[in-house]
Structure 1
């Protein structure tokens, strides 16, 4: 009797890594007859027994990525008892890490998937920050984890990007006397909004440097004290209306301000 060639891919997580390796090897044998059967989230002895019972009936191999020691040992034991060829795809490299780097593995399944999910959440948050930067689309206000408001040059954009790398979706809105704030700003929970203020002297200094970098006259209205005081007064009124926490960014690095924002959010959302 000719048995079909089957490779059982067994994992205590999704099993994508093991399946990819098996497919890569199978292509080297130019065999379209090999069937690959993936068994994901194997987390108890009963699951392993089911696979053993299937594998013992044919011309099979078990290729596995199991990091839970008790399950790995059980699979090795049962495969040996039933004369099934079982290949551990992780242990040789894990043992090399242990030997060379003198570190112990976590023995926790699903960490690769977790890392991938965190990476994609960060990318999504960065794209969000770019899309809803500088009040471009007020719809982002209601979708954001954090909304930053303040006058021009209070580090709203750098903060948005920094917090996006922490996987927070951030929208920021400039407060300008001539432009009414979007209605959405007054509908979001106060705990989601942070006001950014700055001293007039510091803002004057920053704006003059900005004008210089753009090749414009430093005496422009944008950097005048009268204009700055008008903007700060307008911004303060909006922040009071919103009822949001306020941070003075005058002499703070972006990282320091971001830390304060996260502390405020943690405190606000714990109530």
Structure 2
């Protein structure tokens, strides 16, 4: 039997996805396809996800701190006979009644010393060993290869994904430096090209120079140089045919959620 599972959240979606894993682990004969929808921002987006869940005949696990979203899901799933689990608000309501305290509605995730924990540590070690193109020969062993010019969040994103047990190599892109041969030997589905807006990237680089005690206006932060680097990166991404994400004004959590969803890295194993 196959079953589509939706993990839906207005945060990272780790809690709903983890709950789904724990529940469905009790049904080993069911083949699961997990789809995570994180950082739901408005009613229109929530409605689109619900319509897609109806088409997929999905079971929904969700954590929605916004009551408007929560009410929408409850109404829609009741009207369309969709099995759905609100794994946040019912328990918060009971705790509020019992403790006479107001819940903060902050979502957290438990960490246990189990096999997943050690897989997480191994992934973090892998990210450290392969940060900033240190070991290009490990590209073929990575779950994800991040490409990007300087200051496109490669390193923090690598370690954030490593905390989700995903092995990541990140490679800096520089027009004057040839890419490792290994990058052309792996499937483009494992590669993510990171880009940014010129203005945003210039500000970030200027701030970097100031942090080093230097003048903000340097060749490193020159808009013409940045434009050339971005164009070079775009050309590489087009040749590779990989997923491209503009990181401008996005949090690391949001970028990671896009990657895990687009590259189908949300699994129910472990």
TM-score range, shorter chain: 0.5 to 0.7
TM-score normalised to structure 2 length: 0.56
**Are the structure 2 counterparts of residues 256 and 265 from structure 1 closer, same or farther at C-alpha, using a change threshold of 3 Å?**
same
Which residue of 127, 135, 138 corresponds with 1:137?
A: 135
1:204 aligns with 2:176: no
1:163 aligns with 2:161: yes
Which residue of 145, 148, 152 corresponds with 1:147?
A: 145
Are the counterparts in 2 of residues 122 and 166 from structure 1 also a CA contact under 8 Å? yes
Question: Counterpart in 2 of 1:246?
Answer: 244
TM-score normalised to structure 1 length: 0.56
Question: Counterpart in 2 of 1:127?
Answer: 125
- 1:152, 1:140 → 2: CA distance? 21
- 1:1-271 equivalences in 2 (<5 Å): 115-266=113-264
Deviations 1:93-149 (A, max 9, x none): xxxxxxxxxxxxxxxxxxxxx952111111100000000000111012111000000
* Aligned length in residues: 157
Question: RCO (CA 8 Å, sep 6+): is it higher in 1 or 2?
Answer: 2
Give unpaired runs (5+ residues) of structure 1: 1-113
- 2:258, 2:266 → 1: CA distance? 12
- 2:133, 2:151 → 1: CA distance? 14
Give unpaired runs (5+ residues) of structure 2: 1-111
- 2:172, 2:256 → 1: CA distance? 18
- 1:202, 1:156 → 2: CA distance? 16
**1:218, CA displacement in angstroms?**
1.1
Are the counterparts in 1 of residues 139 and 169 from structure 2 also a CA contact under 8 Å? yes
**Are the structure 2 counterparts of residues 267 and 136 from structure 1 closer, same or farther at C-alpha, using a change threshold of 3 Å?**
closer
- 1:209, 1:249 → 2: CA distance? 17
- 2:175, 2:215 → 1: CA distance? 22
